[in-house]
Structure 1
Amino acid sequence: MEDSRLAFALDSPPLAIIAAAKIAGVSLTIDPSLAPGSVPTLHLSSGDFIHGINAILCYLARVATVPSFYGQDAIQAAHYAPVILSGSEFEAACSFLDGFLASRTFLVGYSISIADIVVWSNIAGTGQRWESLRRSKKYQNLIRWFNSIAVDYAGTLDEVAAAYVGKREIGKSPAPRLQEKLQDLMMNTSGPEIDLPGAKVGEVCVRFAPEPSGYLHLGHAKAGLLNKYFAERYKGRLIVRFDDTNPSKESNEFVENILEDIDTMGIKYDTVTYTSHYFPKLMEMAESLIKKGKAYVDDTPKQQMKDERAAGTESKCRNNNVEENLSLWREMVNGTENGMRCYVRGKLDMQDPNKTLRDPVYYRCNTDPHHRVGSKYKVYPTYDFACPFVDALEGVTHALRSSEYHDRNKQYHRILQDMGLRRVEIYEFSRLNMVYTLLSKRKLLWFVQNKKVDDWTDPRFPTIQGILRRGLKIEALIQFILEQGASKNLNLMEWDKLWTINKKIIDPVCARHTAVLKEQRVLLTLTNGPEEPFIRILPRHKKYEGAGNKATTFTSRIWLEYADASVLITGQEVTLMDWGNTIIKEIKTENGIITQLVGELHLEGSVKLTKLKLTWMPYIEDLVSLSLVGFDYLITKKKLEKDDDFVKFINPCTRLRNFSSWRPKHEEPQTGRDHTA
């Protein structure tokens, strides 16, 4: 995009516009020449101009390359009006935003939008007033959001904010460095965006085409979100297509759950289609290629065919005449005994060094009923045959595929060429690989079928539903995926990064609970403890008020973890969390095992001087017994190689159960679908 000129008054540079343009990828020439109090004006290279903050922000949101920067509908767009934070309104606005962000990562949707940029800029522009509130930690949700935006766009927003706030220190004197600094910021608009080859705004059509043979996992999430990103960036169309060409593996259950996961990820699509809808046309195309001599029917046994392809040896059936091929094709269509042994193969090049071009299989027989069309067909197209055909028919302009399909790209285009269909551009992105993780649906299905996990939503599974049950927020998953971008670099990702992002999101709203292991606990008797139990109301989270409060009972007898008790010595002063210090007076043992402790409260003692800060539970009847469940990786090898048998690396113990512990009844867990996660 050619440079546009932003004219404004030097005494009030429009921080929100400058920051939004920077992130939107719009290059601006800064012109602070207007008279004081003037309204900013954006002069476009076309000669047109846009007058006023709201209008300019609306324009920037519309032309931005950032996905979902403008929002999905008119209601979200209404959030984009600048928030004026001044005078007595400032604290009221902060209070409102703090409550609004209690359960949200962004102001609109699941990713950063111009609403975040505008509000962030207004807050940062107040300078010292905001910094004072920030240090006071009064609005924890707002501070968490403000800091996360600053971290993600530190190279942009912090610099722009510094330039804006810096003018206040200059007063009414000229500020040439401000103009230079803003100009430098706006000229450097390069970001992580990657262009689709030959893409034109308004003409792009992409498709997300999962096979309904399992639930969506992390790898599918990356593919789906990248398709969503490019569709939004180029203001194009996104098709969700079910590649349902293998009735032996597919079911309506998988279709329904895939659609549920797509909705969970916030992926908005234009239509849902099925490859099975095109079965009649696909069969016509196969027969047409046979008649043109570009395909043939082969009854070579499967393993022999595989060996011949590897060796570059032509099949004995390769030179059958058209009549022989059509006769065998009809037997395949009718599902005869002879037809069931046959395959339709493309007649490409058996000597090509790219083995995917060595006469690939286009059609094979299968008598299993299809979940959508029943037993109507006995033959089904392969993915390699159906995918380019349906892409071309549905108007797909760019097919996004992970780099594992790289060798098949030439095959894809050769098949389109033989079919006489238009070219579809392929864009590759790197496959998402996670340590100690399987992302093959075939292998994941093995775990389900062999009862190694409960089902596809098991918290140990890398499926979207599985990791959400384990405690991941969908916002964290989306942020993690989008940070990977459309890069072609292959990376083996650590789970820690994903959970770190998740922690930032849940930390301000996640309550803290206390528990001790039932079978590994030691009673501590406080000789000067309270004669009668009493209750104090304490915050669930010491840093975030939004987590609420809890009622804690204080008694003269309390439980400690055995692990903590084992490191204590007589005469030692320790701190009991949320209470104060106590001095260990006696340690009772039996056969070398600690059975009981005796202590004396020393509440006037300094908690800063003690080395041990101990968690504890009151010795009362009003406790809840529960089971804690811990999960480990399903496999023991960090990265499986291509020829590894994954069964040999199965982790024998992936779910740790029955750690009995105690919790007061008023502290029952506030979790969602899965209390054990």
Structure 2
Amino acid sequence: MDIREVIYKHTLKNALEFGKAKEKAILGKVLAELPEYREKIREIIPIINEVVKEVNSYPRERIEEEIKKYEFIKVERKKEALPELKVKDKVVLRFAPNPSGPLHLGHSRAAILNDEYAKRYKGKLILRLEDTDPSRVYPPAYEMIKEDLEWLEVKIHETHIQSERLEIYYNYAEKLIAKGNAYVCTCPQEEFKKLRDAKKQCKCRGLSIEENLERFEKMFSEYKEGQAVVRIKTDLALPDPSMRDFPIMRICETPHPRVGKKRVYPLYNFAVTIDDYLMKVTHVLRGKDHIANTRKQSIIYDYFSWQKPEFIHYGRLSIGGVTLSTSKIMEGIKSKSYAGWDDIRLGTLRALAKRGIQAKAIRKAMLEVGVKESDIDFSWENLYAYNKDIIEPIANRYFFVWEPKKLVIKNAPSFEAQPLLHPNFPERGRRKIKIEAKEGKAEVFISSTDAESIKEGEFLRLMEAFNIIILKKSNEIFAEYHSQALEEARKRKAKLIHWLSGESLPVKVITQEKIFKGLGEENLKNLKEGDIIQFERFGFVRIDKINKEIVAYFTHK
């Protein structure tokens, strides 16, 4: 098979799947099948442009016939397996989000990677809800996170909530003070910072153990928020100023949604170290931005003479195109800029599920990202490709005419089109869409996109129906019936457009950018809420509501 024919077959497939073939998509498919042409891209691009122009002029029926001549070999993406862990005993991992909102796509990386390792080694995965900052706690998130993990098919073996473990942290803080490894500091923050930056100790550091223990007791009753913190003693000559006598306990007078008016809370590095040790965590997976935290936690491990877990730091994953910040989302919900946590413009797992993105597709995408140390940009294209592999076989096809324009056809016969529910699964049956002719004319509706592109005098074929010639374009479009034969359309390389008659249902499709209103075929009333279908020449959608109006959310092309 020569290069032109390889391009031709992939162009046919792309046009069949998306309505119109796209040059960039064809190039990728051709190079995947014939990698030796990577050195000759400039030579093949003109051929691709020529073939795409030719195939895009074909009616759909011709594309369906032509594509039968070819077989398609699925080119498997090279998968990088997750690296092996250093294992001595039973593997214990943890996923530890803050309950400030439901989970988003960024969280899914840590959740899925930990879950994969736990399953690989028949280990245990702990869900630890890190809620020791009362100001950041969103009470419904405790359950929302569990629901999100269940949807993501992440198996949790036990759950802990840090705010229920405060006495444990108090006990270990007191032990550090009693050993002379920590002290209560009442220096104003700016004063302490100047001394720290100068590598000098503050006046509190040299106080006796007894006085520091008394001060620790006062943190629970006398000191106010911001007046005292517990600091761990470190080498004041450390090159990183943030490592010098960093705080491990603080006072917060904001009432906590779960534990009320507790005043003293552990800071992140202290609580995490105590929990990881007591929960026997063997491996910690997290981003490179936690490397400084790992150093701080190592100091605490050393003071207690505890064995450290294996730390695996992966690169930053940048996710563009959606809002992930829970604080920004919360503000948007309060101001009614967002409809809720599942608003499809967001990157929450709930928003992705509402669009029809499958949990298994997210898992595949995150396993492909893996634990690489390099920073990478998240590929929505890859996620959509994985998702399409899952939903394409189950998504039946239907017509949707957006922003409909009336097309009046002279001398048209009454006609019943019977397109397949799915071109690859004829056993699922056919739909029925009728054209009723009265007094020598028929009225159908076409999309505004097609209405704008057609020209007077143009020969067209209505999908699964018959051929027409456009007579006049105004507020309505007037055409004349020409013929029934598909061969006539093929011979003329006629453009193919979809259509609907007056017997249609109102449909609203919500995308991330805009809302499309139009008509859908009557067969849509047989669907159930939650079904994923494909609107031909539009894309995949998830049916959200079926009432007087059908509401769907756009998944992807």
- TM-score with structure 1 length normalisation? 0.63
Q: 530, 539, 564: which one pairs with 2:450?
A: 564
SS in structure 2 at match of 1:287: helix
**Equivalent residue for 2:94?**
207
Q: Contact between 1:289 and 1:295, CA under 8 Å: does it hold in 2?
A: yes
Per the alignment, do residues 396 and 568 of structure 1 end up closer, same or farther by CA in structure 2, a change over 3 Å counting?
Answer: closer
After superposition, where does 1:546-561 map in structure 2 within 5 Å? Answer: 549-555=430-436, 556-561=442-447
**Equivalent residue for 2:251?**
365
Quick one: distance in 2 between partners of 1:359 and 1:411? 10
**Equivalent residue for 1:17?**
none
Per the alignment, do residues 286 and 573 of structure 1 end up closer, same or farther by CA in structure 2, a change over 3 Å counting?
Answer: same
Per the alignment, do residues 312 and 629 of structure 1 end up closer, same or farther by CA in structure 2, a change over 3 Å counting?
Answer: farther
Per the alignment, do residues 305 and 601 of structure 1 end up closer, same or farther by CA in structure 2, a change over 3 Å counting?
Answer: farther
Query: Within the alignment, does 1:430 sit opposite 2:315 as a pair?
Result: yes
Query: Within the alignment, does 1:613 sit opposite 2:496 as a pair?
Result: yes
Q: Which amino acid aligns with 1:660?
A: K
1:389 deviation in Å? 0.9
Quick one: distance in 2 between partners of 1:194 and 1:578? 52
Q: Which amino acid aligns with 1:599?
A: E
Q: Contact between 2:417 and 2:464, CA under 8 Å: does it hold in 1?
A: no
| Cα distance per residue 1:434-491 (max 9 Å; x no partner) | 1234444344444334433222222222111111111101111111111222222210
After superposition, where does 1:391-410 map in structure 2 within 5 Å? Answer: 391-410=276-295
Per the alignment, do residues 538 and 437 of structure 1 end up closer, same or farther by CA in structure 2, a change over 3 Å counting?
Answer: closer
Q: 262, 268, 292: which one pairs with 2:155?
A: 268
Quick one: distance in 1 between partners of 2:77 and 2:430? 31
Quick one: distance in 2 between partners of 1:346 and 1:205? 27
More RCO (CA 8 Å, sep 6+):
2
Quick one: distance in 2 between partners of 1:447 and 1:301? 36
Per the alignment, do residues 629 and 438 of structure 1 end up closer, same or farther by CA in structure 2, a change over 3 Å counting?
Answer: closer
After superposition, where does 1:280-429 map in structure 2 within 5 Å? Answer: 280-302=167-189, 314-334=201-221, 336-338=222-224, 341-375=227-261, 377-429=262-314
**Equivalent residue for 2:142?**
255
Q: Contact between 2:421 and 2:428, CA under 8 Å: does it hold in 1?
A: yes
1:414 deviation in Å? 0.9
Q: Which amino acid aligns with 2:165?
A: Y
Runs of 5+ consecutive residues of structure 2 not aligned to the other structure = 1-63, 65-70, 437-441, 531-542, 545-550
Quick one: distance in 2 between partners of 1:606 and 1:408? 71
Quick one: distance in 2 between partners of 1:396 and 1:310? 34
Q: Which amino acid aligns with 2:83?
A: I
Q: 513, 522, 525: which one pairs with 1:665?
A: 522
Q: Which amino acid aligns with 1:475?
A: K
SS in structure 2 at match of 1:607: helix
| Cα distance per residue 1:259-297 (max 9 Å; x no partner) | 111112222232212223432121011112122222122
**Equivalent residue for 1:83?**
none
| Cα distance per residue 1:31-59 (max 9 Å; x no partner) | xxxxxxxxxxxxxxxxxxxxxxxxxxxxx
After superposition, where does 1:97-176 map in structure 2 within 5 Å? Answer: 151=76
Quick one: distance in 2 between partners of 1:319 and 1:546? 83
- TM-score with structure 2 length normalisation? 0.75
Quick one: distance in 2 between partners of 1:306 and 1:215? 36
1:497 deviation in Å? 1.4
**Equivalent residue for 1:489?**
374
1:393 deviation in Å? 0.9
**Equivalent residue for 1:240?**
127
Quick one: distance in 1 between partners of 2:385 and 2:130? 35
Per the alignment, do residues 205 and 582 of structure 1 end up closer, same or farther by CA in structure 2, a change over 3 Å counting?
Answer: same
**Equivalent residue for 2:6?**
none
1:598 deviation in Å? 2.4
Q: 489, 493, 506: which one pairs with 1:625?
A: 506
After superposition, where does 1:526-541 map in structure 2 within 5 Å? Answer: 526-530=409-413, 533-541=414-422
Q: Which amino acid aligns with 2:466?
A: G
Q: Which amino acid aligns with 1:616?
A: W
Q: Contact between 1:298 and 1:342, CA under 8 Å: does it hold in 2?
A: yes
Quick one: distance in 2 between partners of 1:458 and 1:205? 35
SS in structure 2 at match of 1:418: helix
1:384 deviation in Å? 0.8
| Cα distance per residue 1:392-431 (max 9 Å; x no partner) | 1111111222222122221111111123333222112233
SS in structure 2 at match of 1:194: coil
Q: Contact between 1:207 and 1:241, CA under 8 Å: does it hold in 2?
A: yes
Q: Which amino acid aligns with 2:162?
A: T
Query: Within the alignment, does 1:600 sit opposite 2:481 as a pair?
Result: yes
Per the alignment, do residues 464 and 610 of structure 1 end up closer, same or farther by CA in structure 2, a change over 3 Å counting?
Answer: same
Say how many residue pairs are matched: 458
Per the alignment, do residues 539 and 498 of structure 1 end up closer, same or farther by CA in structure 2, a change over 3 Å counting?
Answer: same
Q: Which amino acid aligns with 1:662?
A: L
**Equivalent residue for 1:187?**
none
**Equivalent residue for 1:195?**
84
**Equivalent residue for 1:502?**
387
Quick one: distance in 2 between partners of 1:631 and 1:470? 10
Q: Contact between 1:218 and 1:432, CA under 8 Å: does it hold in 2?
A: no
Quick one: distance in 2 between partners of 1:631 and 1:311? 52
**Equivalent residue for 1:466?**
351
SS in structure 2 at match of 1:597: strand
Runs of 5+ consecutive residues of structure 1 not aligned to the other structure = 1-136, 138-143, 156-190, 633-655
SS in structure 2 at match of 1:212: coil
1:671 deviation in Å? 4.3
1:386 deviation in Å? 0.6
Q: Which amino acid aligns with 1:262?
A: L
Two-structure CA RMSD over aligned residues (Å): 2.8
SS in structure 2 at match of 1:227: helix
SS in structure 2 at match of 1:193: coil
Per the alignment, do residues 517 and 309 of structure 1 end up closer, same or farther by CA in structure 2, a change over 3 Å counting?
Answer: farther
Q: Which amino acid aligns with 2:152?
A: M
Quick one: distance in 2 between partners of 1:302 and 1:147? 65
Q: Which amino acid aligns with 2:96?
A: A
Per the alignment, do residues 364 and 232 of structure 1 end up closer, same or farther by CA in structure 2, a change over 3 Å counting?
Answer: same
Q: Contact between 1:208 and 1:238, CA under 8 Å: does it hold in 2?
A: yes
Q: 195, 220, 225: which one pairs with 2:107?
A: 220
Quick one: distance in 2 between partners of 1:416 and 1:309? 23
SS in structure 2 at match of 1:248: helix
Per the alignment, do residues 322 and 547 of structure 1 end up closer, same or farther by CA in structure 2, a change over 3 Å counting?
Answer: farther
Q: Which amino acid aligns with 2:90?
A: E
Q: Contact between 1:528 and 1:600, CA under 8 Å: does it hold in 2?
A: yes
Per the alignment, do residues 381 and 548 of structure 1 end up closer, same or farther by CA in structure 2, a change over 3 Å counting?
Answer: farther
1:600 deviation in Å? 1.9
